[in-house]
A = this chain, B = another copy of it.
């Protein structure tokens, strides 16, 4: 990308690779985008991100929190209540991810047509 930047995602050892994988991983992108609109609690998030297991959501949130994209706030109440929200940096990342996901959703007809054509020509 910008050759003057000290971080180059194309380099195997660049730490940006790790964060990119957290953000674009199987559950990372959906989790970040789910938090775009509003703060959510653990199980609210779990319901919103259809299909994620408790374990994976927990892992994903820890990684995103460590990267400074998600803020975790535990209320010392009973029953416990924990809110997850995006940090300002997380909001910026979410903007980009929403652009990407929105594009894919919009152009799914085109993608599905390409897949059918590909399968018809090759796979059978």
Contacts and interface: CB of A to CB of B under 8 A. Distances in A.
A77 to B, nearest CB: 22
Contact of A5 (B26, B29, B105, B110): B105
A65 B115 CA distance: 9
A109 to B, nearest CB: 9
Interface string A17-42: 00111011110011001100000000
Number of identical monomers bound together in the oligomeric complex: 2
Interface centre among A19, A30, A48, A106 (most CB of B within 10 A): A19
Given A24-B29, A102-B1, A105-B7, A50 B115 contact: no
Given A2-B105, A15-B112, A68-B114, 19 more contacts: A1-B98, A1-B105, A8-B105, A9-B33, A12-B51, A15-B108, A15-B111, A20-B104, A23-B100, A23-B104, A24-B24, A24-B29, A67-B114, A68-B118, A89-B107, A89-B110, A89-B111, A96-B96, A100-B100
